[in-house]
Amino acid sequence: MITAQDVNKLRTMTGAGMMDCKKALTEANGDFEKAIEILRKKGQKVSASRSDKDAKEGSVFIKVSDNKKEAVLIALNCETDFVAKNEEFQNLGKLIAETAFAKKPADKDALLNEKAGNLTINEKITELVGKIGEKLEISSFVHMTGEAVVPYIHAGSKLGVLVSLKGVNGKDVTDAGKDVGMQIAAMNPVAVDETTVDKTVIEKELEIAKAQILAEGKPANMVEKIAQGKLQKFFKDNTLVHQTFVKDNSKTVAQYLDSISKGLSVAEFKRISIG
């Protein structure tokens, strides 16, 4: 049974109308991701930032090497913003980031088993849970290396970005990296460029585009060509280097970086938000 609470949740996630949300959820048998796809196929405008709306509390923490070629980014979650601002919580987050940087564990589970003093990170978390009475967990952990790895933390420490730049040629590209990090935080690209977009994402976008085109009554023999055009628009809007640069609308991100230093480009990036 689809409840009013379910409908309101989908409306908050997508910005679509109440009745459209109810119909989509009914058709999707209550599956929120399927309902979002249904709304998109019917031409509904769905907010790209929906994943950040239903956020839990916490903070992101970053540790960068002195030579700026290596960094770690972690997200430590809690239940309330009051705890997220607590000094002990903040100190634990910094300790976890420093431990992750020093020990270089393979993944989040390995990080939990790393020692920080006499206790493992998992035991440190459990210890603080006992003090504050809230659930705490590491929701994300990223380790990145490159010619130049630049961090960016969005206001409030709810969102963190690591950008690895290549073609640096010995220059200090910190300011350019922070600009690109701000771009990633604001625009949430799905990949660096069209060659790095996950194939399943491309297939889903083509499927949605074709459904929209057929719903508009376009001739069947034109569907594939129009769908490919929509896919190119998707790449322009959703891949980092092709996006319009937020600080200068006359340039793409790729053009901005090239203007800083010929051949400067993005090797990879990671964006982590609390939620």
Q: What is the pLDDT of residue 8?
A: 86
Q: What is the pLDDT of residue 219?
A: 87
Q: What is the pLDDT of residues 10-38, one digit of tens each?
A: 887 777 788 888 999 999 999 988 988 88
Q: What is the pLDDT of residue 251?
A: 96
Neighbouring residues of 157: CB distance < 8 A, sequence distance ≥ 6 = 59, 60, 61
Q: Is 48's pLDDT higher than 90?
A: no
Neighbouring residues of 77: CB distance < 8 A, sequence distance ≥ 6 = 56, 57, 58, 135, 136, 137, 138, 139, 274
Average pLDDT over residues 88-103: 97
Band (46; pLDDT cuts 50, 70, 90): low
Q: What is the pLDDT of residue 36?
A: 86
When mean pLDDT is compared across 13-17, 155-159, 242-246, the lowest value belongs to 13-17
All domains of the chain in start order, with CATH: 1-53 (1.10.8.10), 57-145 (3.30.479.20)
Distances (CA, A) of 115 to 98, 127, 132, 141, 182: 11, 14, 22, 16, 33
Average pLDDT over residues 1-13: 86
> Taking a C-beta distance cutoff of 8 angstroms, is the pair 124, 95 a contact?
yes
Structure tokens at 39: 């709304």
Sheet holding 137-145, edge to edge: 57-64, 70-78, 137-145
Q: Determine which helix (DSSP H) or strand (DSSP E) holds 207, and give its type and residue range.
A: helix 199-215
Q: Average model confidence (pLDDT) for the chain? A: 90
Band (45; pLDDT cuts 50, 70, 90): low
Question: CA-CA distance, 196 to 76, in Å (whole number)?
Answer: 28
Vertex 253 angle, CA 252 and 257, to 5°: 120
Q: What is the pLDDT of residue 106?
A: 94
Query: What are all long-range contacts of 82-90, with beta carbons under 8 Å and residues at least 24 apart?
Result: 83/57, 83/132, 83/134, 84/57, 84/58, 84/59, 86/132, 88/128, 88/131, 88/132, 89/59, 89/128, 89/132, 89/136, 90/59
Q: What is the pLDDT of residue 153?
A: 95
Q: Determine which helix (DSSP H) or strand (DSSP E) holds 201, and give its type and residue range.
A: helix 199-215
Q: What is the pLDDT of residues 173-219, one digit of tens each?
A: 999 999 999 999 999 999 999 999 999 999 999 999 999 998 888 88
Q: Is 103's pLDDT higher than 80?
A: yes
Question: CA-CA distance, 4 to 274, in Å (whole number)?
Answer: 26
Q: What is the pLDDT of residue 37?
A: 85
Q: What is the pLDDT of residue 94?
A: 97
Q: What is the pLDDT of residue 42?
A: 73
**Whole-number CA gyration radius for the chain:** 21
Q: Is 53's pLDDT higher than 70?
A: no
Average pLDDT over residues 109-126: 93
List, in sequence order, every residue forming a beta bridge with 60; answer none if it has no partner. Answer: 75
Task: Please state the pTM of the whole predicted model.
Answer: 0.77
Q: What is the pLDDT of residue 155?
A: 74
